[in-house]
Structure 1
Amino acid sequence: MRVLAALSGGVDSAVAAARAVDAGHDVVGVHMALSRNRDEYRSGSRGCCSIEDSNDARRAADKLGIPYYVWDLSDEFHDLVVTDFLSEYAAGRTPNPCVRCNEHIKFDTLLERAASLGFEAVATGHYARIAIRDDGVRELHRAADAAKDQSYVLAVMGPEKLARAMFPLGEIASKSEVRVEAAARGLGVSNKPDSYDICFVADGDTKGFLERALGEKPGEIVDESGEVVGAHTGAYSYTVGQRKGLRLPRPGADGAPRYVTGIDTERNVVTVGPETLLSVRDLVGHEVVWLAPDLPATESKPCHAQVRAHGEPVPGRVVRAGDRVTVELDEPMRGVAAGQSLVIYDGTRVLGQATIAKRAL
Structure 2
Amino acid sequence: MSHPVPPSSLSSSPAPTRVVVGLSGGVDSAVSAYLLKQQGYEVVGIFMKNWEDDDNDEFCSSRQDFIDAASVADVLGIEIEHVNFAAEYKDRVFAEFLREYQSGRTPNPDVLCNAEIKFKAFLDHAMRLGAEKIATGHYARVRLNEATGRHELLKGLDPLKDQSYFLHRLNQAQLSKTLFPVGELEKTEVRRIAEEIGLPNARKKDSTGICFIGERPFRDFLNRYISKEPGPIKDSRGRVLGQHVGLSFYTLGQRQGLGIGGVKEKGAQRGAGDHAPWFVARKDIPSNTLWAVQGHDHPWLQYDSLAADNASWTAGVPPQPGLYGVKTRYRQADAPTQFSAATEAGFSLAFGDHPQWAVTPGQSAVLYDGDVCLGGGVIAAGQARGGPKA
For the superposition of Structure 1 and Structure 2, which TM-score range results when normalised by the shorter chain?
over 0.9
CA drift of 1:249 comes to 5.6
- Please name the residue that 2:343 is paired with: 322
Alpha carbons 2:26, 2:206 under 8 Å: kept: yes
* 1-structure distance, mates of 2:58, 2:330: 22
Alpha carbons 2:319, 2:374 under 8 Å: kept: no
CA drift of 1:326 comes to 1.5
Q: Does 2:278 correspond to 1:258?
A: yes
* 1-structure distance, mates of 2:57, 2:109: 17
CA drift of 1:248 comes to 2.3
- Please name the residue that 1:276 is paired with: 299
Q: Deviations over 1:227-246 (max 9, x none)?
A: 43321111110111122221
Amino acid at match of 1:132: L
CA drift of 1:260 comes to 1.5
Alpha carbons 2:101, 2:248 under 8 Å: kept: yes
CA drift of 1:266 comes to 4.3
The one of 289, 302, 305 equivalent to 2:312 is: 289
* 2-structure distance, mates of 1:243, 1:305: 24
- Please name the residue that 2:372 is paired with: 349
The one of 131, 145, 153 equivalent to 2:166 is: 153
Amino acid at match of 1:335: A
* 1-structure distance, mates of 2:223, 2:118: 28
* 2-structure distance, mates of 1:224, 1:97: 31
Q: Does 2:355 correspond to 1:332?
A: yes
Alpha carbons 2:153, 2:164 under 8 Å: kept: yes
Matched ranges for 1:94-113 at <5 A: 94-113=106-125
CA drift of 1:117 comes to 3.0
The one of 171, 176, 188 equivalent to 1:163 is: 176
- Please name the residue that 1:46 is paired with: none
- Please name the residue that 2:242 is paired with: 230
CA drift of 1:259 comes to 2.1
Q: Deviations over 1:133-165 (max 9, x none)?
A: 213211111111111111110112222211111
Equivalent residue of 2:87, what SS? helix
Q: Does 2:381 correspond to 1:358?
A: yes
CA drift of 1:81 comes to 2.4
* 2-structure distance, mates of 1:307, 1:264: 21
Amino acid at match of 1:302: L
Q: CA RMSD in A?
A: 1.9
Amino acid at match of 2:293: G
Comparing 63-72 and 194-203, the one that deviates more: 194-203
Q: Unaligned 5+ residue runs, structure 2?
A: 1-15, 267-272, 385-390
* 2-structure distance, mates of 1:202, 1:298: 37
Matched ranges for 1:23-172 at <5 A: 23-36=39-52, 37-40=54-57, 42=59, 50-135=62-147, 136-172=149-185
* 1-structure distance, mates of 2:133, 2:78: 16
Comparing 73-82 and 276-285, the one that deviates more: 73-82
* 1-structure distance, mates of 2:350, 2:129: 45
Q: Deviations over 1:292-327 (max 9, x none)?
A: 35x7x4732211110112122211221232331211
TM-score with structure 2 length normalisation?
A: 0.85
* 1-structure distance, mates of 2:293, 2:368: 31
* 2-structure distance, mates of 1:327, 1:203: 34
- Please name the residue that 1:302 is paired with: 323
CA drift of 1:99 comes to 1.2
CA drift of 1:262 comes to 1.2
Equivalent residue of 1:215, what SS? coil
* 2-structure distance, mates of 1:164, 1:284: 32
* 2-structure distance, mates of 1:251, 1:227: 10
* 1-structure distance, mates of 2:320, 2:19: 38
The one of 163, 179, 188 equivalent to 2:200 is: 188
* 1-structure distance, mates of 2:91, 2:241: 37
* 1-structure distance, mates of 2:333, 2:98: 27
Q: Unaligned 5+ residue runs, structure 1?
A: 44-48
Alpha carbons 1:230, 1:249 under 8 Å: kept: no
TM-score with structure 1 length normalisation?
A: 0.92
* 2-structure distance, mates of 1:70, 1:263: 42
Amino acid at match of 1:282: S
Identity between Structure 1 and Structure 2 (%): 37
* 2-structure distance, mates of 1:287, 1:41: 36
* 1-structure distance, mates of 2:89, 2:140: 23
* 2-structure distance, mates of 1:141, 1:299: 18
Equivalent residue of 1:157, what SS? coil
Go from structure 1 to structure 2 and tell me whether the alpha carbon gap of 1:110 and 1:269 turns closer, same or farther (over 3 Å shift).
Answer: same
Go from structure 1 to structure 2 and tell me whether the alpha carbon gap of 1:157 and 1:40 turns closer, same or farther (over 3 Å shift).
Answer: farther
Show structure 1 runs of 4+ deviating over 6 A.
none
The one of 29, 42, 54 equivalent to 1:13 is: 29
Alpha carbons 2:241, 2:263 under 8 Å: kept: no
